[in-house]
Amino acid sequence: MENSTHFKVFRLAAYGDIGQLKYFYFAVVTVLYFVIILANALLIGVICIERSLHEPMYMFLCALFVNQLYGSTGLFPAFMFYLLSDTHDISLLYCYLQIYVLYTCALTEFSNLAVMSYDRYISICYPLRYNNIMTPKIICGLILLSCLSSFFLIAINISLSLRLQFCGNVLDRLYCDNYSVVKLACSNTTLNNIWGLVVTVLYISCTIFPTIYSYVRILQICLKSSKETKQKAFNTCTPHIASMLNFFFGWLFVILQGRYETADLPPILRTILFVYFLICPPLFNPLMYGVRMVKIRHACKKVLGLNPET
């Protein structure tokens, strides 16, 4: 722990000096945050109010939208504040809180997408057993497991980071992320690295691989099925696959940018890639599901007092 210092704040250096452009960026971010809140809250309300949407698929979608609102609160309020602020210091306590919110949101998103793929797998591959398998008890259990497992795993992550001593306090980021914080440590980070690897392997094996397996099996069934079954599978699975790829690629951008030198990229491009997974999924998902899924689209029009047939 040579030359370590007890820092009380981290400095978010990625904001830099953007002059009067900060007001333009603030306006853009404010509009994005407003649209995210409005779109996700609208669909949550529609799914809760409309009884025809009280089915497993829509309950999982509701959990997805709630998680996106939760994750957005970990980024946007602080993002908007620091855009207008002349100082970009963040306290250790708030930094760790932000890490906790953003990381639990990300892991819960992985879990939600895996659960949604499992739901589609049962619906298409075992349609006659679907209602017996996807009971309300199972649905609630899967949603709770998705949330609580991420909260528990990231709590361990944070507890390991809290013990670290730091040689610096400058983060080249727009928000706190655990990997960047750990890189500033002077103390031994072996436990942090091992636990990070364990969580990564655990979530790949428990979420990504089952998701891929589910869609491979769905594809196999569709190739042997009637045109009507193929169309039904296409209509229900396309939004899920698009949502999954959107989030996975966004998370991949963050991982690659954190571990490889990206100084040659234009600053605005680096910024977009780093916040992509926090902005695009909560913006893209409710708009996509609201447009692509007929029952949600009709329910939205009904709740808003519009003609569902238009």
Full-prediction pTM beyond 0.95? no
| 210 HSE (CA, 13 A, CB side) | 18
Q: Which two tokens stand for residue 201?
A: 């392997």
Q: Which domain holds residue 255?
A: 9-303
Question: Is residue 207 in some structural domain?
Answer: yes
Domain tally for the chain? Answer: 1
Question: Is residue 79 in some structural domain?
Answer: yes
- Cβ neighbors of 32 (< 8 A, separation 6 or more) are 76, 279, 283
Question: Is residue 160 in some structural domain?
Answer: yes
d(CA 146, CA 150): 7
**Helix crossing, 56-84 with 21-49: angle to 10°?**
160
Question: Is residue 308 in some structural domain?
Answer: no
Question: Is residue 125 in some structural domain?
Answer: yes
Per-residue pLDDT of the chain (310 residues; tens, 9 = 90+): 455 557 788 888 888 777 788 888 899 999 999 999 999 999 999 999 888 888 888 999 999 999 999 999 988 999 899 888 888 888 989 999 999 999 999 899 989 989 998 998 898 888 889 989 999 999 999 999 999 999 999 999 999 988 888 888 888 888 888 888 888 888 888 898 889 888 888 887 888 888 888 888 888 887 777 777 777 777 777 788 888 888 888 777 777 766 666 656 666 777 777 788 788 889 888 888 877 777 787 887 777 777 666 5
d(CA 290, CA 38): 13
Report how far apart the first and last C-alpha atoms of the chain are (Å, whole number).
67
Question: Is residue 309 in some structural domain?
Answer: no
Question: Is residue 4 in some structural domain?
Answer: no
d(CA 206, CA 202): 6
Question: Is residue 310 in some structural domain?
Answer: no
Domain with 102 in it: what CATH number? 1.20.1070.10
